[in-house]
Amino acid sequence: MLVLLPDETIYSYLTRCCLMDGYPTLACALKYRIGSSSKQWSASFPSFISQVSSFSGIPFQQLLYKHTVYPLYRTFLSKAVSTKVEELLLAGGTLNLESKMSLVANRSKMTGELKYCPLCTKQDIEKYAWCYWHLQHQLPGALACAIHDCRLEGIKVNRKRLILPPTEKASLSTVNEKAVKLAMLSQNIFKLGGYGLNSEIINRVYRHRLVELGLATCNQSIRIKISQWRKHLRLYWESICDDPQISQILSKSKPWQYPANLLYGKSKTFHPLKHLLVIGHMFNTFDEFMSIYRLFEKGQEPCVDSEVEVNGDNLARSMPDKKILGFLENGYSLRRTSILCGVSIGYTKKISQIYGITIHRRTQFIDEGKRREIWRKLLVGLSTQNIAASVETSVGAVEQILSCHPEIVQLRKKIRFHNLLKKHRGQLISAVQSSTSRQEVKKAVSSSYTWLFKHDKDWLYSQLPAEIPRSQRYTRGGKSGV
């Protein structure tokens, strides 16, 4: 019997078992293992957990709480609802499951994708001789791999098919710290192991924090500044709003709903991602959120910290670079430093590169020689796409190096401007030589004319044909060129 790998989904485990069975088709293997070949195999809440438990000998509860996304959803469900849901999953009757978990009411559609990290896949093959689907990559809010700080790749799948992650080499895309923070937050809540958080206490934690952030008044009663809260929330996650699920939640077409309904819909159940976005916006780390939750749980009232700020970059501003540098200079690893300071590994790495602190790198990182070659090409203004192709690395890696040199960013802007200036001046001069009026010039090279009018007006007018006298601009037949 195959061993269930760390952080492996049940779907992935079943796929590997069927591939090893030796049946002529996967349908035959599924019929043998599960007794059916037509279930929704890649569903987030599998209806065949009991059958997998039966042939593998792994307890049902272990499969449910260690190898499905259910624990993250369970954290925000009431005990009554979670009991009904687990009874349905045990019996394999998942027909009304999403309705009972309020996923239908939340209008939260599943993405229909299985996600994977190319670097994790490579490491899995080297370590286990298998590639497999990681559970942490399938959690709500998982846009990035928190281990490698790269964007997760997604594969649209038919939920009735069995597949494993692709093994061909994929280009790596770097992600911003907000995507990494959301992924880490999702994992932290999953690691609670399905511990149910009390909705009333969560409500009190949110209100307490809103007062600290200045997004609520606290006189005789707490009054929430809904419009300001909504504005700051959308601004904070703006850099990852291209994700369909996040875009759907933060949609501007529903201004009266989220996030106000988290506070005023006390008896309702909300999708975990809605809580993740609010917690990630208002708290630097998950531990900070839980520390306040524990105080309310014990019946204690936390003190209001009036120095807490709310802004577009709350995380970076609340944890100064000086603290990160202190840990790195004392020999702490990137991962350990990022955890202690409540920032992403990518941000910690950027600070170390800006201040020239030597860090130990994994083999997949760019060596110093190639880094200098990229730096020189950036300095002369070559595009990041051309540089990536010439040194055989990803565009994201080149942009990461560029972000560590703000002075080069400004220099490249000047280079691009002068290149455009030269291009548009040349086109205008050619047009002037074959035209007799300003109107003809403008018509021949309208884009260059407009650009020069905006950025180099004096030179433009010095090159144009002489202006037609105002008395001669109108003829019997109509307007002449100007």
Residue with tokens 């209806």, as numbered in its chain: 47
What single DSSP character describes residue 304?
Answer: P
pLDDT class of 10 with cuts at 50, 70, 90: very high
Residue 189 Cα distances to 72, 141, 181, 220, 474, angstroms: 6, 11, 12, 34, 75
Could you please report the per-residue DSSP string of 188-257? HHHTTTTPPPPHHHHHHHHHHHHHHTTSEEESSSEEE-HHHHHHHHHHHTGGGTTSHHHHHHT-TT-TTS
Q: pLDDT tens digit string along 352-411?
A: 777 777 765 544 456 778 888 888 888 888 888 888 888 878 787 788 788 777 788 888
Q: pLDDT tens digit string along 316-347?
A: 344 447 778 878 877 777 777 877 776 777 77
Q: Where are the domains of the chain?
A: 10-175, 197-316, 410-479
Q: pLDDT tens digit string along 177-234?
A: 899 999 999 999 999 988 889 999 999 999 999 988 888 877 656 788 888 899 899 9
Q: pLDDT tens digit string along 375-387?
A: 888 888 888 888 8
Distance between CA 30 and CA 288 in Å, rounded? Answer: 45
| E strands in 221-366 | 222-224
The alpha carbon torsion through 114, 315, 292, 187 (nearest 10 deg) reads: 20
pLDDT class of 312 with cuts at 50, 70, 90: very low
Residue 13 Cα distances to 9, 135, 217, 331, 451, angstroms: 6, 11, 51, 39, 59
Q: pLDDT tens digit string along 416-458?
A: 899 999 999 999 999 999 888 888 899 999 999 999 999 999 9
Average pLDDT over residues 285-310: 78
pLDDT class of 73 with cuts at 50, 70, 90: very high
0.85 exceeded by pTM = no
